[in-house]
Amino acid sequence: MTETKITPGLTYDFQVEEIFSFSDGSTVFVGLPSDNKIRLIPAHARILLNGNEAGQITLTEYRMPGNMTPRMPLVSRDKIDSNYLRSGKCKLVCTLMPEKDGLES
């Protein structure tokens, strides 16, 4: 995936198709971003469940990057009730945060 450098604060939507929780406390959201030509993390995300705001999380990393293109697996380490989020149509509205030092390309 070729990523374009962008300014923090850019937003994108992420249609969630699957949600997985792991014993280390991480939750993986697998889905399709509205723009796959930008970096997707780190980002703050509002969780929409059936069109209603259900919470906020921070997306911090990719899980298994490249294995599911065009579907992307994004990870949050925030406490999340994944069973609740699986109960309806889930979408993330994401706002990019500045990259950490040393991670910019």
pTM equals 0.82
- pLDDT, tens digit (0-9, with 9 covering 90-100), for 23-51: 999 999 999 999 877 788 999 999 999 99
The count of structural domains within the chain is 1
Whether 71 is covered by a domain: the verdict is: yes
In a domain, 66, yes or no: yes
In tens, the pLDDT along 73-93 reads: 999 999 999 999 999 999 999
Residue 6 lies in a domain: no
- Average pLDDT, rounded, for the chain: 85
Residue 103 lies in a domain: no
Instruction: Give a yes or no: residue 42 inside a domain.
Output: yes
Residue 89 lies in a domain: yes
Domain of residue 71, CATH code = 2.40.30
Residue 40: give the domain boundaries.
12-96
- Asked whether 51 and 105 are in contact (CB, 8 A), the reply is no
Q: Is residue 105 in a domain? A: no
Q: Which residues contact 71 (CB under 8 A, 6 or more apart)?
A: 17, 30, 31, 32
Residue 38 lies in a domain: yes
